[in-house]
Amino acid sequence: MARAREVPGFDCEEPFAAAAARVVEVRAAEVFAHSEGVLDLEEIERLHDMRVATRRLRAALEVFDSCFPHKRHRKALKRVKELADALGERRDCDVAIEFLSGLEAETPRDDRAGLAALVERLRAEQREANEALAPYVKPKRLKKLRRRLRKLVKAAKR
C-alpha cells in the first residue's frame, strides 16, 4: 500500500480552511496518480492503491467539510464516494478470491467442488464489479472530478 504523501506547509496554527485546501489538494493528486491500470485483474494491487488514495481523499473532504461551500462540497464528496464504492466493490471480490484460492489444497475432497463453485461465482462478481467501475475511471470522468476538486480547493483558499 502506498504511503500518504507529506502535505507541504502543513501548519497547526494556520486557519482551518487553509489547511483544508492544502490537504485536499495533495490527497486529490494522489488519487489521480494511482488511476493507471486499475481495471487489470492480473494486478490487483493497483486498484488497492487507488482505493486507499480515494479513501484518504474522502476522509479529508469529510474532516474539512465546514471549510468548503456547501453545495460544491456535497457534489464533490458524492462523486468521490461513488468512485470509492465502485473501487470497494471490486476490492472485496479481489480479497475474497485471494483468500479462498489459498484454501484449496487444505480443503477436504468432499468440499472442493463447492469451494471451486464459490470462487467461480466470486470471479463473475469481480468481472461485474470491474465493468461497473470502468466508467468511473475513464480519463474524461477523472478529469472532470479533478477540475471539480480544484475549484473546491480554490474556494477554501479564499
Partner 1 sequence: MKARQVEGLDPAAPLRPNAARLVRVRLDELRSFAPIALEPPASKTQHEMRIAAKRLRYVLEIVGPCFGPEADAARDAAKRLQSVLGEIHDCDAMLPRAWGIESLRERLRARREQLFGEFSELWREQADGGTWVELERSLDRHTFSLQSGESGGDKEIE
Cα(22)–Cα(16) distance, rounded to whole angstroms? 10
Query: Does residue 10 belong to the site contacting partner 1 (CB under 8 A)?
Result: yes
Query: Minimum Å distance from CB 112 to partner 1?
Result: 9
User: Which grid cell is 62?
Assistant: 469529510
> Using an 8 Å Cβ cutoff, are 86 and 136 in contact?
yes
| Near partner 1 in 74-103, by CB under 8 A | 95-96, 99-100, 103
> Using an 8 Å Cβ cutoff, are 146 and 36 in contact?
no
| Near partner 1 in 110-129, by CB under 8 A | 110-111, 114-115, 118
Sign of CA dihedral 145, 58, 88, 42: positive
Closest CB to partner 1 among residues 74, 143: 74
User: Which grid cell is 92?
Assistant: 472485496
| Near partner 1 in 53-72, by CB under 8 A | 55-56, 59-60, 62-63, 66-67
Q: Exactly one of 5, 16, 75, 132 binds partner 1 (CB under 8 A); which one?
A: 16
Q: Exactly one of 5, 11, 78, 131 binds partner 1 (CB under 8 A); which one?
A: 11
User: Which grid cell is 146?
Assistant: 479533478
Number of residues that bind partner 1 (CB under 8 A): 34
Helix, strand, or coil (residue 44): helix
Query: Minimum Å distance from CB 105 to partner 1?
Result: 12
> Using an 8 Å Cβ cutoff, are 88 and 129 in contact?
no
> Using an 8 Å Cβ cutoff, are 84 and 58 in contact?
yes
Query: Minimum Å distance from CB 67 to partner 1?
Result: 4
* Contact residues for partner 1, defined by CB under 8 A: 4, 10-20, 23, 55-56, 59-60, 62-63, 66-67, 95-96, 99-100, 103, 107-108, 110-111, 114-115, 118, 156
